[in-house]
Amino acid sequence: MAFEAISPSIPPIVAAGPALFGYVHENGRVIGFPLENIKGSCPLIQDLRACGIALGKPHELGLFHGNPVQSSCYQSRGESARL
């Protein structure tokens, strides 16, 4: 098993989700990827606008995935929502 880090000089394309630190691979196959730990809680109805903004970031790049649900978005109080 090996870990391959992603260069910090590469800027994140979409800052709507957790930072990707690298890949864990074994025999040439990716078996995991460590992500940034996001502290927060599931959003409330008053956080709908912040979640819409966060969801719009990947959509601007043409990235779409499934059906957005409340548990897919985390709201850090005083910060923007993250997917």
Residues 6+ apart with CB under 8 A from 19: 12, 35, 36
pTM above 0.75, yes or no: no
Domain count, the chain: 1
Residue 25 lies in domain? 2-82
pLDDT by residue for the chain (83 residues), tens only, comes to 666 666 555 555 556 667 778 888 888 888 888 888 877 777 888 888 888 887 787 777 777 766 666 666 666 555 667 66
